Structures are given as structure tokens and as C-alpha cells.
Amino acid sequence: MKIKSRKNFVLFYVFFTLIMLALGKYIKILNMGNSLNITTTPISKSIYKQNSGSRYIPLKKYYIVIDPGHGGIDKGTSYGNMYEKDLTLKIARYAASYLKSKGNVVFLTRNKDKLLGLDQIGDKVNSSCADVFVSIHINSLNDKNFNGITTLYYDVDGYQKDERIKLAKSVEGEAVKNDNWENRGIKRQNLAVLRYSKIPGVLVECGFITNSQDRARLSREDVLKRLGENISNGVISYLNESEIN
Ligand SMILES: [Zn+2]
């Protein structure tokens, strides 16, 4: 290549890169404004972390939204002075700090005792452009014998169906790993928070507050911490696998 044409090529390349960067930013702004009508793309990235030597080891970095169910005047389900909204916030915070310690970026839809509308949650999830969305809840039923963890997913007309099922299976499998939780499997259920989400999402029902054994588990801080960490591991292994495929 001649020197002049090489110079032109470099100039064109720089100009082209700047245009693409500007365009990328513009699309992101559009996504934030009109969150329900766009298809977000995963923005997971590989970053590199320097270890003790001079070598760099690859570290996956994911963007994850965690939604602690209920809040404020909406206490969710309860038993005595045990409220679903408090338990979900604790589990979500444990999950968030664990995921952050692994180098991921985490958004909590709420980090205090306040109520969010379902549309607000949907907007937060979709404008985040995250890879995965996890909503945390606690179950209850008149029949006190029902116990265990269920992971719910939903696809609108097959949208992201396979990914959502894979994510639900991965989260369910990890969530029940410690503390003798019953595995109630995964279930497709038409819930607004899952329906609005443009990214793969699940809702984890973390045990039944109406069952005495589950309630005993949920009253222990160490169990809530492990639950948050195990749910996170389910999310990470789903993301690692979907990145390979
Ligand atoms: Zn709930």
C-alpha cells in the first residue's frame, strides 16, 4: 500500500470507528427512553485481571438485574412479624454482593423498603441492557405441607424460550444445593415481571413461609446468604454456558 493511500485508510478507519461509537451511544439512549419496544442485546464482556505474576487471566463480567419482590406498603406474604419484602431484600443483597465480588455489575431494582410498580420494574430491567434478570420472592399456601423452592419463567409466544428454560433450570438446580431445600422444579407462569422483561429472566420462589421447616430456614441469616450465593451461581453458570454456545 502506498504511503498516501495508507494514510487515507487510517483516517477512514478512525472516522468509521468514531461514527460507530457515536451510533452505539445513540442506540443506548434510545433504549433507555423506549424500553418496552426494543430488543436489547447482551453486553457481557471479557475483561482481564492481573494475577500475582505478570500474566493476565480472563475474567467474565456480566450485567445482572436483581429484583427483591414487594416493598413499602406491599409487605408480600407474611407469618407473624416475618415479611416477604424483608426476606427478599436480604437474599437480593447477599446475591448482589456475591456477584460483585466475582467482578460482575449488579443493579438492584430497590435497595430499601419501598414499593415499585410493575411497569417501573419492567422499565428498570429493560433500560439496564443487562444480560439476565432475577426476581426474588417467597411462597405461601393454605396447605402448610407445601415446601421447597420453585423457579418460574415465562416466554411470550416462544420469545427466548430455550434461554429462559435453561436459565430457570440452572438457577433452580443451584438454589436447592444446600440446607435441604426441596426441589419443586421449574414452572412456566404468566407473570407481569417476566412478561415485560426483554432479557432472559426468572422469578425464584424461595420456600414457603407457611411451612414450618422452610420458615425455620428463612429465619436464619446464614441460610439466606447461601441462598443468594447459590442463585447467583445458577445465573453465572447459565451465562458462562450461553457464551460458549
Ligand atoms: Zn411475592
Between the CA of 137 and the centroid of ligand 1 the distance, in Å, is: 4
Between the CA of 139 and the centroid of ligand 1 the distance, in Å, is: 7
> Could you tell me which residues are beta bridge partners of residue 205?
137, 150
Between the CA of 1 and the centroid of ligand 1 the distance, in Å, is: 65
**Which residue is associated with the grid cell 427483591?**
68
pLDDT digits (tens, 9 = 90+) for 215-242: 999 999 999 999 999 999 999 999 999 8
Between the CA of 208 and the centroid of ligand 1 the distance, in Å, is: 11
Between the CA of 175 and the centroid of ligand 1 the distance, in Å, is: 17
pLDDT above 80: residue 14: no
Between the CA of 212 and the centroid of ligand 1 the distance, in Å, is: 18
* Spans of all domains in the chain: 1-33, 56-244
DSSP states of the chain: --HHHHHHHHHHHHHHHHHHHHHHHHHHHHHHHSTTSS------EEEEEE-SSS-EEEEEE-EEEEEE--BTTB--SEETTEEHHHHHHHHHHHHHHHHHHTT-EEEES-SSS----HHHHHHHHHHTT-SEEEEEEEE--SSTT--SEEEEE--STTTTHHHHHHHHHHHHHHHTSSTT--EEEEEE---HHHHH-SS-EEEEEEEETTSHHHHHHHT-HHHHHHHHHHHHHHHHHHHHHHHH-
Selection from 201, 211, 47 nearest residue 124 by Cα: 201
Per-residue pLDDT, averaged over 156-180, amounts to: 98
Between the CA of 239 and the centroid of ligand 1 the distance, in Å, is: 25
Q: What is the CATH number of domain 56-244?
A: 3.40.630.40
For the ranges 73-82, 119-128, 166-175, the lowest mean pLDDT is seen at: 119-128
Between the CA of 131 and the centroid of ligand 1 the distance, in Å, is: 23
pLDDT at 43 (0 to 100): 43
